[in-house]
Amino acid sequence: MKAALLPLLMLFTTLVNSQPANSAQETGISNNRTRLNFYIANKPKTLDLFSRLVILRAKMQGKKFKQELVVIVAGSSREASDKIIQHLEKKDALIGNLWFDSHGRYYNGYSSFILGDDEFSYKTIRDSASTHHMKRLAAYVDNQTRVAIGSCYSGATYNKPATDSTVSTRMNGDSLLIGMASILHGATIYGAEGWVMTKPGVFRKHSYALSGYPIQKKFLDQVYLPVWENLGKWNSYNALSGNFEKVNSLALTRNGSIHIKSVSYLQKEKYTKRQAKNIGRIERSLASN
């Protein structure tokens, strides 16, 4: 009888072991393991002094907290994932916090973030070919992992208004967050409704360095009105709970941990006054998009 059951037992064991692991949460990996925080920056393609300054500041912070914060400059999602996994494997660690320092492309009319030539949006986030390398990170996240898409409008849920040359489009930032959460199952994903700034003091949790607005005149075009109305607002989504929630403004701590502020940006009177002043200056046809 035992001999007859042995082949079945071997077949069952083979099938179980061949199933792909989705996340640390699902595979039962202890969440007491070491955790690393990551700040992922895009590799500048041009002599962009501002981007290089932001990267330099982040690297200096990484040196101060080298046991907790890893700063990676990558030209693709493959390069970013390779480097992240290399650090995690070396320390047998999980991802604590992951911040993507990227640019949003409002003129496209939808929420997105980029890693080199790889763009992630509601259009690509369900495409296995586009997200292959991002999915490799799923084995290193659990329900304590926080991931912020630090690009402008990354979690935007409003419509980009029509212009003389474009139609109104929904930004679909919620779809981007939900898609990312399905890839990094168990992690909480954050995205911004408004601009994400990198003012001095980014790695100070009491600062609003990540909130605010750019000063160029083109951003006073009426097409940006929804962005002005949503300064400092963020959304979050976790696939385990299935809850899409509004959260206060985000900040980063000195070691790169994602911090949700107790008082949101627009709860500060000085910022609401500045917001109102700029909304009052909005004009038509200042922007090319």
Question: pTM here?
Answer: 0.88
In a domain, 201, yes or no: yes
What is the count of structural domains for the chain?
A: 1
In a domain, 47, yes or no: yes
pLDDT at residue 274 greater than cutoff 50: yes
What's residue 33's pLDDT? 85
pLDDT at 104 over 80: yes
The residue range of the domain holding 90 is: 23-215+232-264
pLDDT for residue 243 is more than 90: yes
Pick from 162, 249, 262, 144: which is nearest to 202 by CA?
249
In the predicted model, is pLDDT for residue 20 greater than 90? no
269: helix, strand or coil = helix
CB 160 within 8 A of CB 223: yes
Q: What pLDDT band is residue 48 in, cutting at 50, 70 and 90? A: confident
Is residue 128 situated within a structural domain? Answer: yes
pLDDT digit string (tens) for 152-173? Answer: 999 999 999 999 899 999 999 9
Does the residue 54 lie in any domain? yes
pLDDT at 2: 34
In a domain, 3, yes or no: no
Does 287 map to a domain? Answer: no
| Domain contains 256 | yes
**What is d(CA 76, CA 54) in angstroms, rounded to the nearest whole number?**
18
pLDDT of residue 231: 98
pLDDT at 45: 75
pLDDT of 24 reads: 62
Answer yes or no: is 221 within a domain. Answer: no
